[in-house]
Amino acid sequence: MKPFKFAFITDTHLYPNAQQNYAGGLQQQINSLALYEKLIEQLNDFEPDFVIHGGDIVSGGQSFDMSAEEYVGALNTAKALGERINAPCYYIPGNHDLDPETGSKISYLERFGINGRGSTSFAKENIRFILIDAQEVPEDLTHGYVSTNQLAWIEREMKKAADYEEEIIFFSHQLPFPNVEFQGVGSRIANSAEILEIVAPFEKQILAFFCGHQHLNRVFREQGLLCIVTSGIICYPMMWRQVNVYPDKLEINSVPVDLPDVLAESESVNPDNNLYLSGRPRDQEFSIPRSYSALG
């Protein structure tokens, strides 16, 4: 196979013209546009084959003071910014990508959906990338949910990967399943047990699950499945993932957005919590071996 690379970004929480920061200043909505613009510069310097955005593109849904008009404006700005990335960019919705007044994701899907859907898949060099829409809910409920129809689609995609001897990488906004640290339903997809049930037969093909939502870096394994939780761009440590794919492994590096003053402002809010958010070195830089039979 030919080596390639991709970027995973998440939780940009774009809020142009925000009048305040949130979470006591930890989330830098006032600087969200500057963060997004600098992120795009760094993405283009990295020259990925593609980019995947893990959701919460904007600061809609609940928890913020964004009006419906501001929400649509933020989506439009995010769409325009994404067009400045010199690579295809795939998006999945987060709970804050829903309309703050109606809970709808119609406006989101009009700009970021693929054929009117929030989920999609594609294959590259014997890896199938499956992007899950975990916002099949009537409003921002914090937790995610995946419908019966989408579960059936995911199963079909995994069977297709098996037929073509492909490995699999999943992406969702919320955690696909709980672990000891993240037990609460607000952290994950509510019907995670159903996800675990359908993916279990394909465990050896699955390289990893990438997600955001928690605004921190964490890497853990649960029931044999690797989960890579990635920090939000909106708050400390403001990191995104560079993923280099080789025939025998994936190498993952975490890179902060290069706006030191903004990072320092977020970092100063609760210094005692910064290590929890940034994670350990092994949560930031690591490799994933590839051992599936497709590698020959």
The answer regarding whether domain 4-295 maps to CATH 3.60.21.10 reads yes
Rounded Cα distance between 91 and 112, Å, is: 6
Whether 294 shows a pLDDT value over 50: the answer reads: no
Q: Which 3 state secondary structure label does DSSP give 241?
A: strand
For the chain, what percent of residues have pLDDT higher than 90? 92
Where b means 16+ CB within 10 Å and e means fewer, 115-149 reads eeebbbbebeebbbbbbbbbbbbebbbbbbbbeee
The pLDDT of residue 291 is 78
- Compute the average pLDDT of residues 13-35: 98
Whether 112 shows a pLDDT value over 70: the answer reads: yes
The pLDDT tens digits for 225-277 are 999 999 999 999 999 999 999 999 999 999 999 999 999 999 999 999 999 99
Whether 89 shows a pLDDT value over 50: the answer reads: yes
Residue in 9, 42, 70, 46 with CA at minimum distance from that of residue 230: 9
Which pLDDT band, with edges at 50, 70 and 90, does 293 fall under?
very low
The pLDDT of residue 295 is 40
Which pLDDT band, with edges at 50, 70 and 90, does 184 fall under?
confident
Specify the DSSP element, H or E, that contains 249.
Answer: strand 249-256
Whether 183 shows a pLDDT value over 80: the answer reads: yes
The pLDDT of residue 292 is 59
Domain ranges of the chain: 4-295
Whole-model pTM: value is 0.96
- Compute the average pLDDT of residues 59-71: 95
* Number of neighbouring beta carbons within 10 Å of residue 152: 11
Stretch among 149-153, 179-183, 259-263 having the lowest mean pLDDT: 179-183
Rounded Cα distance between 95 and 84, Å, is: 24
Residue 237, preceding peptide bond in cis (omega within 30° of 0): yes
> Which residue bears the tokens 């003053």?
261
Rounded Cα distance between 29 and 51, Å, is: 22
Which pLDDT band, with edges at 50, 70 and 90, does 152 fall under?
very high
**Mean predicted lDDT score pLDDT of the chain:** 96
User: Which residue type does 96 have?
Assistant: H
The pLDDT of residue 6 is 99
User: For strand 225-229 and strand 4-9, is the pairing parallel, antiparallel, or unpaired?
Assistant: unpaired
Whether 70 shows a pLDDT value over 80: the answer reads: yes
